[in-house]
Amino acid sequence: MFPSTRTSLRILFSLAASACLFAQAKPEPDVLIFTNGEKLIGHLKSATGAKVVFKSDMAGEVTVEWSKIKELHSAGKFAAIPKDVTFKNRADAAKVARGSVAMTDQKLEVTNPPAAPQTLPVAGLSNVVDEPSFDQALKGQSFFQGWKGASSLGVAITSSTQDVQTLNTGINLVRSAPAESWLRVRTKTTVDFTASYSKITQPGTPSIKTAFYHADAEEDFYATPRLFLLGGAVFDHNYSQGLDLQQTYDGGLGVVAHKSAHSEWDIRGDVGFTDQQFATSSLNRKLVGSRFGQTYTVTFGHGIAFSEDAGARLAWNYEKAFSANMNTSLSMPVFKNLGVNVNSFDSFVNNPPPGFKRNTFQLAFGIRYAFK
């Protein structure tokens, strides 16, 4: 019996030691104390020079201004990035203080033994991010990572004296490199595709069809946070305007006229080559000209977002070949990645074949799936 008892004691001792080690390894919760004395227990997520994002065990994720915080203590490892630091190479990362953080008197102390603590005024901070995210951001990402956007689909079927089938679909993708908001954007890639098809059939009469497809891709190279060079391609087909295919390749200059946390307005001007191919081949044109356009995006509360893209293209070698377009989208989330959206498409071609209208307009409703 004695050996069995000794073995049992060893097992109990091992379990007790493991429990003690687990208790010691469990990180201490972070503490946020407001100026009025109220306290939140949880974990610090991130911060800027103006606000703190804190996930409370009881209140969930909250965003608080630094001015309303008396004290903040976190044992987690963070990188405190000053406003005057720009990351041109990996050596610039050495300018950033890393370690556990504590804030009192509107000053953030970063501790990382055995180095001496560093103190920074919160007003001089650009961002405070967790150390793993900071290291990952400096490594960069492949071309296939970091894409965001959404796809939409709308279908309508009517069966009566006239049978009508309508399909609307689209996909919008954007990728910024680097993707982190606290790093200066170097490049931005956008890819858009919109398609609509409708067919009306009635016994004894010819079918009526409408169809248009629009696809474009653009790469922006930022020389400064406000100025960028651009290059891209645009492809259009519009059965309702007698346009078999219009393909354009261009490059130019863009300006970020306005940018905030929730909205951005960009203005563009470029020079390019356009090949117009119509259903009537004698009207085909090869054009050289310019396009002037702008895009605007804004995010409202509860994830509601609006975007608008409009522009006009002028031909230098054939002034009648004037074209313009405008696309708008309003999206509203419903459940997780699913939502609803309202899209409008407006296309104007000044020189269509005889018998075709110059303008095409469509308003569509559909289901939206967001890529995050």
Buried b (16+ CB within 10 A) or exposed e, 168-202: bbbbbbbbbbbebebbebeebbbbbbbebebebee
Hey, which bits of 96-204 come out as E strands?
A: 97-104, 107-111, 118-121, 125-130, 148-159, 163-177, 187-202
Residues 161 and 36 in one domain: no
Q: Is residue 203 part of a domain?
A: yes
pLDDT computed for residue 21 by the predictor: 46
pLDDT 10s digits, 64-115: 999 999 999 999 999 999 887 777 666 777 889 999 999 999 999 999 988 8
Which residue type occupies 170?
G
Q: Is residue 11 part of a domain?
A: no
Buried b (16+ CB within 10 A) or exposed e, 43-73: bbbbbbbebbebebeeeeeeebebeebbebb
CA nearest to 128, candidates 156, 103, 148: 103
Q: Is residue 232 part of a domain?
A: yes
First to last CA, the chain: 62
Q: How far apart are CA 315 and CA 271, in angstroms?
A: 10
Residues 302 and 358 in one domain: yes
pLDDT computed for residue 137 by the predictor: 82
**pLDDT tens digits, the chain, 372 residues: what are they?**
445 555 555 555 555 555 444 444 456 799 999 999 999 999 999 999 999 999 998 888 999 999 999 999 999 999 999 887 777 666 777 889 999 999 999 999 999 988 899 999 999 998 999 999 888 887 877 888 889 999 999 887 878 777 888 898 999 999 998 888 778 889 999 999 999 999 989 888 888 888 989 999 999 999 998 999 999 999 999 998 899 999 999 999 999 999 988 899 999 999 999 999 999 999 999 999 999 999 999 999 888 999 999 999 999 999 899 999 999 999 999 998 999 999 998 999 999 999 899 999 988 888 999 987
Residues 336 and 232 in one domain: yes
CA nearest to 352, candidates 276, 286, 288: 276
Output the domain CATH number for residue 162.
2.40.160.40
Residues 127 and 156 in one domain: no
Residue 220 CA: distances (Å) to CA of 3, 189, 226 = 75, 6, 12
Q: pTM for this structure? A: 0.78
Q: How far apart are CA 182 and CA 247, in angstroms?
A: 37
Q: How far apart are CA 365 and CA 283, in angstroms?
A: 35
pLDDT computed for residue 311 by the predictor: 95
Q: Residue 286 corresponds to which tokens in the numbers above?
A: 């090869």
Residues 161 and 285 in one domain: yes
Residues 128 and 222 in one domain: no
Q: Is residue 304 part of a domain?
A: yes
352, 236 Cβ separation under 8 angstroms:
no
Asked whether the CA dihedral 248, 237, 313, 329 is positive or negative, the reply is negative
Q: Is residue 108 part of a domain?
A: yes
Hey, which bits of 279-337 come out as E strands?
A: 285-299, 305-315, 323-335
Of 139, 158, 183, the last residue of a domain is 139
Residues 118 and 163 in one domain: no
Residues 131 and 163 in one domain: no
Residues 181 and 322 in one domain: yes
Q: Is residue 79 part of a domain?
A: yes
Residues 157 and 129 in one domain: no
Residues 134 and 165 in one domain: no
Residues 159 and 119 in one domain: no
The CB density around residue 115, as the number of other CB atoms within 10 Å, is 11
pLDDT computed for residue 368 by the predictor: 92
For residue 214, what are the domain limits? 148-371
Residues in the chain: 372
Of 139, 174, 201, the last residue of a domain is 139
pLDDT 10s digits, 185-207: 899 999 999 999 999 898 888 88
Of 109, 139, 169, the last residue of a domain is 139
Asked whether the CA dihedral 136, 142, 144, 149 is positive or negative, the reply is positive
At residue 39, the 3 state secondary structure works out as strand
Question: CB within 8 A of 359, min separation 6: which ones?
Answer: 346, 347, 348
Number of domains in the chain: 2
Q: Is residue 322 part of a domain?
A: yes
Q: Is residue 20 part of a domain?
A: no
